[in-house]
Structure formats: structure tokens, C-alpha cells
Structure 1
């Protein structure tokens, strides 16, 4: 199907929240990098689960338990198809933060020692910084930072130079949540593998907006968050190579992650269930399965092309806006625009935009080290999704002009 054959107005109509008003104005939702809106297909399947199938998974022989387990595991299979990985290599988590912490405590903590290095990029989200700081404190390892070029892209020469024999782990975002930079993760992981460096890729901002083929990326760990994928909050995933999952001890202990428990010892379940202790967010994952099926029906290539089209429109519309600076101009960037208007504060701009019905994010976007390097305390961030329209972009730009007059 050609992108021009997709009825994007009909797609937008799948998202009921986008029809509401805010402060008496039609909502223009430009905060999808924070959380995506949910289509009816997701809302309905979660509602149906609670109305007709609600039971715990894997612990009942009755009909409801069987239905709940079937739907839960079907979602795991949908995610595996969506990302081109084996279903038994997908650990279902509460989100990216939990997934990275799982790797930190289950893989890194038992392995790292004094003299080892964890390599991160300047553009990382706190979720891919703080866990490694905690592990470094406990193991004596150190953290090294790969820096950026002025356009917000990775300094590749600097990255290669930083990948010394002491580096045991490279943690890297696939797409920056502030700059929109799309990192060449396949090339980077290939080079890391040559050097014996384990790689973790944070796909939180990539999986919702482009075709992600983990098998072709060649990383060791890949994480993503469900609520940015048009799915419910409290859902996410960790993919890891099977041999790594088998070698890693459990991160959390409890029910479901065991085969046999005795007071003198426990036999743990096989991966991925070894890492899924306790009752999961069953309805949430049923919803996430519906979400990735919905995205797949549209086509991730079509979604990527649509968002690139919207980004081009927004970038061109803002190019003549005097006093507005965009942070992150790397070629091929994702549909994220972080910006400031001279003489104004990001929070003031976002607050006044909200009064015009335009929802953008303001602040440090859980990326303090990045903003410090940019020399700013906060930015506004407008993040587009495939369910946005050219009219949304125009309304955003018009509202910005009104805001600047108010703050002049």
C-alpha cells in the first residue's frame, strides 16, 4: 500500500481523545514522545478483557484463566513478530526503565569489576544513565561518555575512539527523545561486537515510529516502552539473546518465575518467565498486543513516512520564526522538535500554548546531562505522531506566534 492511499483522517478518527477540547479550543496533541494516544482497537480490547476474560495467568485450569493466559501469550507473539525476534527471548516488563534495571542488576552487576567501563552517549535518557551509575558504584566500574556534534548527531570518530578494551557495555538510545537524532545502531553494534562489547539499545523512541528489526540490528539487549507504542501504561519489554537470558540470575523473586521452591533452594523457570515474577499487567499487555497489531496493519514504513512529512512541514513553517532556535538538526531525525524562543522561558511558552489547546512538553525531558551540554535549563518539545495532521502543525505555529506576542 502506498502512503498516499492511506486515509489519514480515518486513522486519526481511531483515536477518540483527539476529538476533545482543552480550554475551549480543539486539542492539538504534540506530546507523543512522552506518551502516545490510544486507538479504539486498544481501548476496546482492554475493556473486553476486564468485562469477559479477567483472571490471572498461568495459575488456573478454569476457563477464564486459560483465556487470560492465551491472550497474554498471544501478545508476546505479536510483539515478537513486530520486532522480528523469538517470543521466548522477550521478557515482558513494566516499561523501559524496569527493563534496563533488569539488565543492570542481572547481567552487569555479577560481571563488572574495577577497571571496567560502561560507555554511554551524551543524549541518553536518565533511564539509561542512573541504573549504570548505581552499578558502577557497587562494582568499581566507571562511566565514559560519547559526545555529540553540533547538529546533535553522535561524534562517530569519538565513539570509535572511546570503544577501548576496557569497555564492557555500550548503552545507546536508538532515537533521542530530545534531539530526534536517529543513531546508526546497526553499524555501531557490528563494530561493538568485533571488539567484544555487549550492547544495549534503548528503543523507546524508535519502535513507535519506524520499522525495528532487532535481528538485523545485531545488539545484545533491546528495550522498549508500551505506552509510547499506542499501548497502555505500565507495559514494556526486554529482548535479549537467548544465551544471555539463560546465564542471567533472576532480578525479582516470587511466583511464576519458579519451577520448584524448597526452603533449601529453588529451581527457576526458563526464560523469559524466569524474569516475570508476580502477577503482570495482564490487561495492559493484551492492549499492547492489540496496539502493535494496529500499527502493523497501517505499516511502520507508512507511519515513518507520514511523520517525516509532518516534520518537514513543521520545520519549514518554523524556519521563518524570528528568535526561535531548534535543538537537534541531524539528517534523517525523527519527528521531535525541541526549541526555545529568545527571551522566554520554556515553561511559560508551554503554559500559554496549553491555553490555545496545544499540548507540548517543557522541561529537561529526563535528559539533564544533554541539556547542560547545550547550555540551557529547559526546552519546549513538540513531538509529532502519525495521527497528527498538517492542520495540527499550522495551529501549533499560529499559537506560537500568539504566545510570543503575549510574552514580548
Structure 2
């Protein structure tokens, strides 16, 4: 697909905001949805709406086939060995909490270590903080280099034989740092630890092969990859998932219930209590279809060109500081001297440009950067260089508005 063909698939982009054409640069928070995903959700509710697995009627069968078909699409998307290794969850936050609450609670004890980094999203910090407090374990942080990257020597020095869990984001939602997950996984395994990967900012934008990475758990959300909100996937190696206990009980995950004891279904359903997020999973499958139609190599190419162009253009804006490494994923986090990022975002919104401002659920990283907040422009497959040009013009307008002299 060429740029206009891709953009034409997203109805929401063809509107004006505050009298200006919408320039949507907030896909790291949530992506927009193509018409194929919207129509898939509409079709399910209009034609197939039914609970899954337990019914024998036609609607139930069609819903089940679509739901389990979506699981196979997720399996293929990340190259998992089996659909037994794909658990549908509400999103990345729920997936990480599931791993911490099940695997972590059973395998981490007093004196053990959990290793993360200061760049993590709060969803990949707080569950481990709580687990460490509960178990008397130690939470350790791999230090960051000056540009916000990780040095494998620091990884080697932080992970020890006492480390039980290493949990790191694949791509930083603030810095755009792409972490060397395969190499970190090898170090974790060498020390007897399991590797958990927050893939929320990676799976939508690059090819992810969990078998090549050899990670033990990989979690990501549909809403950042052209799919619906409220649905995501937790990948786990079968040998680990089989030993783990569910964290939610009732409904779909039940095998047999007695008065004083119960048993659970096999994988993957033992982790999917209650009525599943059926429409969400089907919509996630449709989003995968769309991304594969465009091609993940093409998506990476689009984003690389955009972020390279953006950093070149933005470097011409006097008083603007960009955070993070030169080689990065498709986002730019920045501040303008003497202008609060919320004010930057407000002026840009008046120009029809949507960016994110705040701490981006990464307060420890903000402290490391020695700022209270930043502004962030994030790109996806439907953005163009014209969007970047509009952003730069909007930033110049922002400086003029606040009395800066060029």
C-alpha cells in the first residue's frame, strides 16, 4: 500500500479539529482503527453475537470459530509454537500482573531478585514492587546510559544467580529505545531467571518472533496496533504456563466444580475466567490481518523514515531538546525551553495536531531525565512527512505564542 491508500483506510483521520485538518501523532498512547477492524466488530455484533465454547447452536459455533481463529492469528503474528501459549487478556497491564501474580508469587521468595530498568512503564514497575514487598525480595534496576540505552555489561553486572525474574520493555514509550531483548534473555537464562517482555510498543511496529527471542513471556495490547481497546495477548512458554495457577476463577476456565474442590481447563483457557472479550479478540485478529496486508517490513520502513525526518526537522527549532538515542523507534519525546509540555500540547491541539504531554506513565524515567514532564509525538503507518511538517510549523507557532524570538 502507498501512503494515501493506507490513510484512506482510517475514517477518523479525515476530519478537522479546531478548524484544521487532524494530524494524529499520539499512536503510542492508542492507534487509530482501519475500516476493516470497525466492520469486523460491527459484523460480529450484527450477525454472530453469542458466548463461546459452551453453546452448541449456530451463533455460538460461529463466535467460537472466530474467537479461536483470532488466537491462531496472534500465534502466527508472534511465531509462538502453539495456540496453547496464547492467552487473551485485557491488555499489557493485565498480562504483566498475571505473570507477577501467578508465576512470580509461586517462584519468588525472600532474598531473591527481580530485575527491571528505570525506563519501564508503570505497568512494568508496580507489579514487581508489590511482589518484592510481599515476598521480601529485592527489586534491582539496570542503569541507563546517558542516551537512554542499556549496556550489556551493566545487564551482566545486575543480573545474578539470585535473580528469578527479569522484566524489560522491548521499546521505550518515552525514549524510543529498542532494547536488545534476545541478548538480555540469554543473560537471564544463564543465571536461571525467566525473561518477561513488555511488548506494547514493539509488537505494533516491528516483526516479533518469540521463539527467536527465546523470552519466557511476551505481552502486548491490541489498541496500539490498530485493534480494539480492552484486549491483548499474553504469550508464555507452555512448560511454564502448565505449572502456573490461574489468577481469576469462574466461568470459562472451569473444568469440574465440586463443593470443596475444583479443577481447571487445559491451556490456554484456564487463564481466561468468565466470559472472554470475544469481540475484542476477533477485532484483534482483524487488526493483525490488516498489518500483515501492509507488511511489517513496510511499517518499519515508514516509521524509520518518519522519525529520521522528524528529528532532522525538529532540530531546527531553537530551544527544543529531544530525549533518547539517535537510533530509535517511531516516536520523539521533547521539551521546549521555558514552555510547559501541557502548554505545547494545548497550542498544537489548536492547530489540529494531537500529541501527548505528561509523564507518560514513566515517573522514574522523568526523574532520571530531570524533568517533570515531556511532550511526545509518535508515528504510525498512516502518518506522512506532511504530518511532520505540520508538527514543526505548530512548534514554531508555540514558540511565537509564548514570546520566543527566532
The interval holding the TM-score normalised by the smaller chain is over 0.9
In 2, Cα distance between the equivalents of 1:265 and 1:355? Answer: 60
In 2, Cα distance between the equivalents of 1:263 and 1:215? Answer: 41
Structure 1: state its 5+ residue gaps: 1-5
Matched residue SS, 1:247:
coil
Matched, 1:108 2:104: yes
Match for residue 53 of structure 2?
A: 58
In 1, Cα distance between the equivalents of 2:88 and 2:234? Answer: 7
Match for residue 34 of structure 1?
A: 29
In 2, Cα distance between the equivalents of 1:113 and 1:215? Answer: 28
Matched, 1:177 2:173: yes
Structure 2: state its 5+ residue gaps: none
Alignment of 1:302-313 (within 5 A): 302-313=298-309
Alignment of 1:119-138 (within 5 A): 119-138=115-134
Aligned partner of 1:70 among 65, 71, 77: 65
Aligned partner of 1:319 among 312, 315, 321: 315
Matched residue SS, 2:148:
coil
Aligned partner of 1:141 among 134, 137, 140: 137
Deviation at residue 155 of structure 1 after TM alignment: 2.8
Aligned partner of 1:242 among 214, 221, 238: 238
Matched, 1:389 2:387: no
Deviation at residue 197 of structure 1 after TM alignment: 1.2
Matched, 1:253 2:249: yes
Could you tell me whether the CA contact under 8 Å between 1:152 and 1:330 is conserved in 2? no
In 1, Cα distance between the equivalents of 2:270 and 2:98? Answer: 12
In 1, Cα distance between the equivalents of 2:326 and 2:192? Answer: 29
Match for residue 345 of structure 2?
A: 350
In 2, Cα distance between the equivalents of 1:160 and 1:356? Answer: 47
Distance 1:387 1:285, change over 3 A: same
Matched residue SS, 2:9:
coil
In 1, Cα distance between the equivalents of 2:17 and 2:143? Answer: 40
Could you tell me whether the CA contact under 8 Å between 1:220 and 1:241 is conserved in 2? yes
Alignment of 1:150-161 (within 5 A): 150-161=146-157
Matched, 1:8 2:6: no
Matched residue SS, 1:267:
strand
Matched, 1:362 2:357: yes
Over 2 Å off, 4+ runs: none
Deviation at residue 330 of structure 1 after TM alignment: 4.1
Matched residue SS, 2:107:
coil
Deviation at residue 350 of structure 1 after TM alignment: 0.4
Match for residue 44 of structure 2?
A: 49
Deviation at residue 195 of structure 1 after TM alignment: 1.5
Aligned partner of 2:193 among 186, 194, 197: 197
Match for residue 265 of structure 2?
A: 269
Structure-1-length-normalised TM-score = 0.97
Deviation at residue 7 of structure 1 after TM alignment: 1.3
Could you tell me whether the CA contact under 8 Å between 1:339 and 1:381 is conserved in 2? yes
How many residues get paired? 402
Deviation at residue 131 of structure 1 after TM alignment: 0.6
Could you tell me whether the CA contact under 8 Å between 2:122 and 2:361 is conserved in 1? yes
Matched residue SS, 2:252:
coil
In 2, Cα distance between the equivalents of 1:197 and 1:228? Answer: 29
Alignment of 1:92-103 (within 5 A): 92-103=88-99
Could you tell me whether the CA contact under 8 Å between 2:357 and 2:375 is conserved in 1? yes
CA RMSD between the two structures: 0.8
Matched residue SS, 1:183:
coil
Structure-2-length-normalised TM-score = 0.98
Matched, 1:404 2:399: yes
Match for residue 3 of structure 1?
A: none
In 1, Cα distance between the equivalents of 2:3 and 2:230? Answer: 28
